[in-house]
């Protein structure tokens, strides 16, 4: 009997992502947010969730995707993290999927450093790929300097790899 | 053990722990005051109680230890022994042993395997040391078993227990009382000779204290902390709900509802205050054990340390107290072990033998500050630097650049210790980083400051996170922010026309003169939006008055504009002439000029000004037309056009009026005067809303980086608002520096201020003018009777200290030249009073300056100056709040022909200057 796990899925810029269902507290429609000036850019603001103040993280920004188009309201995926609940802002909520271990693949090397830490890997679903997100890393708001290995940067700059 | 027993044991444990803590304090206190009988009795009673209960519960080992301790204490109490450090140490060891056994009972339910024979032997041995002090008779069978009970007893009973008074004698006294003797039992017994008055006094003391104890213990009750937590949460929610109800009540016009909601408001406030108090404990509770800790550590290191406490009553929430207990203990041990030097070293350094450890606690800015200061050797910055580089924590280059404050904070890194010896107490480097982590876990900060050779202070700041605080709500940039009222001093509103004068720029930084003091201003919108300004930066100096001159005089503009109609009428009537260029240009008239140079820029965001501009252009277009027609001779059409002018003009006037109102409104400035770190500053916001009580919810750890915010809260309307951290904001705006060595900065500004001040001698010059010379130029002040003045040629001189002192008459010297010549030659008139002479030294020579009157000696900064208005004066300056002329001494001397070549000058000023 293969090991299965459940994921709560959602869409960001037409890409499918999933987080472990266990870590999800709830899913909400768009809520009023209070901006936090001077906070890191990924922090969209603070939300009042039934008396609990929850920090909202713009996942598009966290994953270095295009900013959400004007007029598109974000949905809230409220997850439990080490330092309290965090709301991840996504485009659309997907279904709960159950996947087996066998369909899992680690993330490709070409993924940028900052993004690679957030994505644990992908599950190959029938029609598409589901990117698995690490909840803790997704909730991380402060910049963590990524030390890029030498060959990577050399490669990117287009200079010949020795 | 049955459940009932388990309950009893639990209570026993809780009480005993408390008692043991008290024992620690009392024993340390006793060591300092061995004669404190009350303390001794209290200690005895405590041990006795423990012994009793142990026996009852079957904890034999505990009982055995307590028993020996009790015996020792009994001998102390009976003055057969005198307390000395050895005995104290042994008793403290007994306390520790009991504590350990209790802990064992707590976890395992039984005493476990222990061997306290050594301790018992020591305690037994110490009982045998003979005493030297006088003592009262050994009392037969006077084991004060019942003294341990807190119920108040009668004087007779107490006396019976403590002295040799017999029941018979007491009965006798009682009889006497029944017969009508009005005196107290005690007095009668003393008179009978059955009791000594000293014993009576003792007995009365005991009766008093046992009475007090009874009342105290009857009115307290133990409550589980978890239950209090729950209550606290519920109250927090209730506060939020109440806020919402109040908001509704404001909107709904129903008197019954309003009354009910008011009642709800009052009750909630009181409930909240009460519940918060239940959880608050004075920090003295944990400080209580520090004297013992300090004593033990000091003894162990061979040092002498005294503990002082300030702010013992500062209250903290219980959870916070639990969390900081260990960190504070470590810091205290550290201070004694590493901070304070050995007595010999201290004496060599000129300090007292005994070191001082000062614990300070106080509330400030919504946080609790706890400081642990010692007057020891201070941190060795060099050693830390070296160690850090060795460990690879920082590079050598960074080490040289790092300011001392940051170097000191390196000690909080894990594994860091520059201690030369690792002792049992500390030095292993596992302490400071744990302190920091623990403090940060509850949302606090810790930092250290030190002066080599003088001492170190570790400062712990903990926010009152679980707090419902009163706050002022303000609006800035459309968003609401809450400012804790504790930092709020006052609110100032400047109307637009006052802004220009009120807000000044000092080196480019805006300040407001608040009752004579300069208040630095911080613009909240600029602080929160460093890049770009949202809309118009309200009230910022660059957007109103200030450099661009006064606020635009709208009234004048309107008046000027109205003149146009009159002038045109004149032209049409043929009484005046005007060319099309003159009248038809919308850029040439006053209003136009202003619009296109300043107006549109300044008030560009107001839609009104654009209407003004447009209409104004139309107006002048029409004027041009009128003039054109007129000049062409077409009167009728000119008049026709003129009639259309009126409405246009009125429109312009109305627009200008509207604009003025809006500008005034917008131009007004709201300043919230705040205090942080002992400094005041003004925060400029868009709007000031009202004060509310808000529940502080801490920010997520990663958001805590943003020092400007202390937390967030949910407002009455359900929206989230950020709470400003006043200190963080002030630091960010550089209104307050980060290194907070208050004393240092105060001293620095003091000395800076003093250095700028000079001391002047004030005197009356000719025409009763106010003049001065720097005191430093003055050698002496003298007064000579006129008879002592002699003439040497045309020069007044006097014999002074064995030499001839030339006298310069200021009145004369400053006079017109011809008058001077005559005056110079005149000898002193015999009837004039004594002359005041300022003996001055100049270029190695002495001379005396004769003045009318000596006024005063004043210290003043003397920085407000203006050029001199007559010869021999350096400049005019404000000294002591009056304009004073500063004398130009070389010029005076030249005028008086006191050149260096003049014979008869004193050359040795040194002697005169004595």
Distance between CA atoms of B843 and B893, rounded to whole angstroms?
11
pLDDT of residue B428: 47
From B479, B528, B697, residue closest to A53, measured CB to CB: B697
CB contact under 8 A, B528 and A38: yes
Distance between CA atoms of B197 and B300, rounded to whole angstroms?
44
Task: Kindly identify which residue of chain A lies nearest to residue B718, measuring between CA atoms.
Answer: A48
Strands lying side by side in the sheet with B769-774: B853-860, B758-765, B769-774, B882-887, B873-879, B865-867
Q: SS3 for B18?
A: helix
Residues of chain A with Cβ-Cβ distance to B702 below 8 Å are: 40, 83, 140-142
pLDDT of residue B357: 92
Among B187-191, B358-362, B439-443, B724-728, the range scoring the smallest mean pLDDT is B439-443
Cβ-based neighbours of B490, under 8 Å, separated by 6 or more: B673
Distance between CA atoms of B721 and B713, rounded to whole angstroms?
5
CA–CA–CA angle B187, B192, B193 (5° rounding): 100
Compute the nearest-CA separation of B529 from chain A (Å): 7
Is there a contact between A60 and A42 (Cβ–Cβ < 8 Å)? no
CB contact under 8 A, B700 and A32: no
Both tokens of residue B667?
Answer: 């131009």
Listed residue (B238, B563, B625, B295) closest to A51, CA to CA:
B238
pLDDT of residue B38: 81
- Interface check for B474 against chain A (CB to CB < 8 A): the answer is no
**Largest alpha-carbon pair distance within chain B?**
141
Distance between CA atoms of B169 and B163, rounded to whole angstroms?
12
| CA-CA-CA-CA dihedral for B815, B817, B818, B820, to nearest 10 | 50
Each residue of B253-295: pLDDT tens digit? 888 898 999 899 899 988 987 887 787 788 888 888 888 888 8
Cβ-based neighbours of B718, under 8 Å, separated by 6 or more: A32, A48, B244
pLDDT of residue A76: 94
Number of neighbouring beta carbons within 10 Å of residue A4: 11
Return the top range by mean pLDDT from B135-139, B151-155, B347-351, B411-415: B347-351
pLDDT of residue A27: 93
Among A47-61, A115-129, B193-207, B822-836, the range scoring the smallest mean pLDDT is B822-836
Helix (H) or strand (E) holding B743: helix B742-756
Residues of chain A with Cβ-Cβ distance to B701 below 8 Å are: 83
- Interface check for B700 against chain A (CB to CB < 8 A): the answer is yes
Number of neighbouring beta carbons within 10 Å of residue B101: 22
Distance between CA atoms of B773 and B857, rounded to whole angstroms?
10
Each residue of B280-339: pLDDT tens digit? 788 888 888 888 888 888 888 888 888 999 988 888 877 788 878 888 988 998 888 888
Q: What are the φ/ψ torsions at residue B691 (nearest 5 degrees)?
A: -95, 140
pLDDT of residue B234: 83
From A34, A39, A86, residue closest to B719, measured CB to CB: A34
Compute the nearest-CA separation of B721 from chain A (Å): 7
Is there a contact between B839 and B790 (Cβ–Cβ < 8 Å)? no
Task: Give the E-state strand segments of B302-454 in sequence order.
Answer: 305-310, 315-317, 355-364, 367-374, 445-451
pTM over 0.95: no
- A→B contacts (Cβ < 8 Å), by residue, are 32-40, 43, 45-48, 51, 53, 55, 83-84, 86, 140-142
Number of neighbouring beta carbons within 10 Å of residue B875: 14
CB contact under 8 A, B703 and A51: no
CB contact under 8 A, B720 and A142: no
Each residue of B12-59: pLDDT tens digit? 888 888 888 888 888 888 887 777 778 888 888 888 888 887 777 778
Cβ-based neighbours of B317, under 8 Å, separated by 6 or more: B279, B280, B281, B464, B466
Compute the nearest-CA separation of A140 from chain B (Å): 8
Among A79-83, A88-92, B115-119, the range scoring the smallest mean pLDDT is B115-119
Any idea what DSSP says for residue B776?
Answer: G
Residue B838 has pLDDT above 60, yes or no: yes
Return the top range by mean pLDDT from B389-403, B481-495, B529-543, B855-869: B481-495
A·B CB contacts under 8 A: 58
CB contact under 8 A, A53 and B720: yes
Cross-strand bridge partners of residue B107 = none
Q: What is the ipTM of this complex?
A: 0.79
From A34, A43, A140, residue closest to B720, measured CB to CB: A34
Among B75-84, B127-136, B449-458, B759-768, the range scoring the smallest mean pLDDT is B127-136
Distance between CA atoms of B611 and B605, rounded to whole angstroms?
12
Over chain B, what is the mean pLDDT?
76
CB contact under 8 A, B479 and A35: yes
pLDDT of residue B857: 84
- Interface check for B717 against chain A (CB to CB < 8 A): the answer is no
Cross-strand bridge partners of residue B688 = B474
Compute the nearest-CA separation of A57 from chain B (Å): 12
Distance between CA atoms of B775 and B758, rounded to whole angstroms?
8
Compute the nearest-CA separation of B701 from chain A (Å): 7
pLDDT of residue B904: 43
Listed residue (B740, B358, B440, B702) closest to B432, CA to CA:
B440
pLDDT of residue B367: 78
More confident residue, B426 or B434: B434
Residues of chain B with Cβ-Cβ distance to A32 below 8 Å are: 718-719
pLDDT of residue B742: 35
Compute the nearest-CA separation of B733 from chain A (Å): 13
Mean pLDDT in residue range B69-90 = 82
CB contact under 8 A, B722 and A48: no
Task: Kindly identify which residue of chain A lies nearest to residue B721, measuring between CA atoms.
Answer: A34
pLDDT of residue B129: 61
Percentage of residues in chain B with pLDDT exceeding 90?
4
CB contact under 8 A, B700 and A51: no
CB contact under 8 A, A48 and B703: no
pLDDT of residue B817: 54
Is there a contact between B713 and B484 (Cβ–Cβ < 8 Å)? no
Percentage of residues in chain A with pLDDT exceeding 90?
34
More confident residue, B763 or A150: B763
Among B82-91, B244-253, B643-652, B892-901, the range scoring the smallest mean pLDDT is B892-901
Residue B474 has pLDDT above 90, yes or no: yes
Return the top range by mean pLDDT from A150-154, B483-487, B893-897: B483-487
Model confidence band, residue B825 (pLDDT cutoffs 50, 70, 90): low
Report the residue count for chain A: 162
CB contact under 8 A, B712 and A46: yes
Among B69-78, B386-395, B876-885, B894-903, the range scoring the smallest mean pLDDT is B894-903
> Which of the residues B703, B716, B721 would you substitute to probe the A interface, choosing the one with the greatest number of A C-beta atoms within 10 Å?
B703
Both tokens of residue B687?
Answer: 């709007």
From B529, B700, B714, residue closest to A51, measured CB to CB: B714
**Largest alpha-carbon pair distance within chain A?**
58
Task: Kindly identify which residue of chain B lies nearest to residue A37, measuring between CA atoms.
Answer: B528
Is there a contact between B372 and B458 (Cβ–Cβ < 8 Å)? yes
Number of neighbouring beta carbons within 10 Å of residue B253: 8
Each residue of B677-710: pLDDT tens digit? 667 899 999 889 888 878 777 777 777 777 788 8
Residues of chain B with Cβ-Cβ distance to A46 below 8 Å are: 712, 720, 722
């Amino acid at each position: 009997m293969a090991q299965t796990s459940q994921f709560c899925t959602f869409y960001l810029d037409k890409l499918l992502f999933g987080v472990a269902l266990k870590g999800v507290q709830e899913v909400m429609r768009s809520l009023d947010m209070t901006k936090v000036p001077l906070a890191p850019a990924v922090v969209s603001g603070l939300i009042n969730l039934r008396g609990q103040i929850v920090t909202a993280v713009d996942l598009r920004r966290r994953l270095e995707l295009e900013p959400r188009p004007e007029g598109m309201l974000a949905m809230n995926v409220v997850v439990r993290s080490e330092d309290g609940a965090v709301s991840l802002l996504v485009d659309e909520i997907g279904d709960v999927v159950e996947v087996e271990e066998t369909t899992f693949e680690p993330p490709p090397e070409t993924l940028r450093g900052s993004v690679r830490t957030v994505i644990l890997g992908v599950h190959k679903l029938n029609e598409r790929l589901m990117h698995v997100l690490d909840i803790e890393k997704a909730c991380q708001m402060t910049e963590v300097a990524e030390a890029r290995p030498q060959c990577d940067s050399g490669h990117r700059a287009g200079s010949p790899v020795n | 053990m049955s459940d009932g027993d388990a309950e009893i044991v639990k209570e026993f444990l809780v009480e005993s722990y408390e008692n043991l803590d008290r024992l620690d304090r009392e024993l340390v206190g006793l060591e300092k005051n061995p004669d404190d009988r009350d303390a001794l009795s209290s200690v005895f009673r405590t041990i006795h109680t423990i012994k009793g209960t142990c026996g009852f519960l079957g904890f034999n080992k505990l009982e055995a230890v307590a028993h020996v301790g009790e015996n020792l204490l009994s001998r102390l109490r009976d003055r057969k022994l005198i307390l000395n450090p050895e005995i104290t140490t042994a008793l403290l060891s007994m306390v520790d042993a009991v504590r350990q056994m209790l802990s064992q009972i707590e976890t395992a339910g039984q005493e476990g395997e222990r061997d306290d024979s050594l301790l018992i032997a020591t305690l037994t041995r110490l009982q045998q040391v003979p005493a030297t002090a006088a003592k009262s008779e050994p009392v037969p069978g006077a084991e004060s078993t019942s003294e341990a009970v807190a119920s108040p007893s009668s004087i007779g009973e107490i006396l019976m227990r403590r002295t040799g008074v017999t029941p018979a004698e007491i009965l006798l006294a009682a009889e006497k009382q029944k017969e009508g003797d009005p005196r107290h039992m005690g007095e009668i017994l003393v008179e009978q000779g059955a009791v000594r008055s000293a014993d009576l006094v003792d007995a009365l003391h005991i009766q008093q204290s046992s009475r007090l104890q009874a009342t105290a213990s009857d009115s307290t009750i133990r409550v589980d902390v978890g239950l209090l937590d729950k209550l606290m949460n519920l109250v927090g929610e209730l506060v939020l709900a109440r806020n919402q109800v109040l908001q509704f009540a404001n909107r709904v016009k129903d008197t019954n509802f309003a009354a009910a909601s008011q009642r709800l408001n009052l009750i909630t406030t009181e409930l909240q205050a009460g519940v918060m108090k239940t959880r608050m404990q004075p920090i003295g509770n944990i400080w209580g054990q520090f004297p013992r800790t300090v004593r033990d550590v000091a003894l162990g290191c061979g040092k002498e340390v005294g503990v002082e406490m300030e702010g013992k009553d500062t209250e903290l929430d219980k959870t916070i107290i639990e969390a900081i207990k260990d960190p504070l203990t470590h810091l205290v041990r550290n201070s004694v072990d590493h901070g304070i030097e050995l007595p010999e070293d201290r004496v060599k350094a000129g300090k007292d033998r005994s070191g001082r450890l000062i614990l300070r606690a106080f509330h400030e800015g919504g946080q609790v500050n706890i400081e642990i200061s010692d007057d020891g050797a201070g941190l060795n910055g060099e050693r830390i630097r070296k160690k850090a580089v060795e460990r690879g924590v920082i590079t050598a280059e960074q080490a040289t650049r790092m300011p001392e404050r940051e170097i000191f904070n390196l000690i909080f890194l894990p594994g860091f210790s520059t201690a030369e010896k690792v002792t049992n107490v500390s030095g292993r480097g596992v302490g400071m980083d744990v302190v920091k982590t623990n403090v940060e876990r509850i949302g606090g900060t810790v930092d250290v400051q030190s002066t080599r050779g003088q001492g170190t202070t570790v400062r712990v700041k903990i926010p009152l996170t679980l707090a419902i605080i009163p706050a002022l709500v303000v609006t800035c940039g459309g968003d609401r922010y809450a400012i804790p009222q504790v930092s709020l001093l006052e609110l100032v509103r400047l109307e637009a026309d006052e802004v220009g004068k009120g807000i000044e720029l000092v080196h480019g930084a805006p300040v407001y003169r608040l009752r004579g003091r300069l208040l630095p201003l911080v613009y909240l919108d600029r602080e929160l939006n460093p890049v770009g300004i949202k809309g118009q930066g309200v009230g910022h100096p660059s957007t109103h008055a200030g450099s661009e001159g006064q606020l635009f005089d709208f009234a004048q503009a309107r008046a000027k504009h109205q003149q146009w109609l009159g002038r045109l009428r004149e032209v049409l009537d043929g009484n005046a002439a005007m060319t099309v260029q003159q009248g038809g240009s919308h850029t040439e008239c006053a209003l136009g000029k202003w619009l296109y140079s300043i107006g549109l820029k300044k008030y560009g965001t107001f839609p009104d000004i654009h209407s003004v501009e447009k209409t104004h252009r139309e107006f002048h277009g029409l004027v041009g037309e009128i003039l054109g027609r007129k000049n062409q001779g077409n009167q009728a059409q000119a008049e026709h056009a003129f009639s259309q002018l009126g409405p246009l003009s009125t429109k312009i006037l109305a627009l200008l009026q509207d604009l003025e109102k809006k500008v005034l409104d917008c131009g007004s400035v709201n300043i919230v005067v705040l205090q942080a770190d002992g400094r005041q500053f003004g925060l400029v916001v868009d709007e000031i809303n009202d004060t509310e009580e808000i529940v502080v919810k801490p920010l997520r750890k990663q958001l805590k980086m943003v020092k400007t915010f202390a937390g967030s809260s949910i407002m009455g309307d359900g929206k989230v608002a950020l709470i400003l951290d006043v200190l963080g904001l002030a630091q960010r705006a550089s209104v307050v520096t980060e290194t907070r060595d208050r004393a240092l900065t105060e001293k620095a500004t003091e000395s800076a201020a003093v250095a700028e001040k000079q001391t002047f001698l004030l005197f009356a010059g000719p025409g009763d003018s106010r003049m001065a010379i720097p005191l430093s130029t003055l050698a002496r002040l003298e007064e000579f009777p006129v008879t002592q003045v002699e003439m040497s040629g045309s020069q007044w001189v006097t014999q002074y200290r064995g030499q001839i002192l030339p006298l310069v008459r200021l009145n004369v010297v400053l006079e017109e030249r011809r008058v001077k010549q005559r005056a110079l030659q005149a000898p002193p008139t015999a009837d004039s009073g004594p002359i005041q002479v300022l003996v001055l030294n100049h270029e190695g020579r002495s001379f005396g300056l004769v003045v009318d009157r000596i006024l005063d000696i004043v210290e003043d900064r003397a920085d407000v100056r203006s050029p001199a208005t007559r010869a021999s004066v350096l400049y005019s300056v404000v000294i002591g709040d009056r304009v004073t002329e500063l004398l130009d001494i070389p010029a005076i001397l030249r005028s008086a022909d006191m050149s260096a070549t003049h014979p008869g000058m004193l050359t040795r000023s040194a002697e005169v200057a004595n």
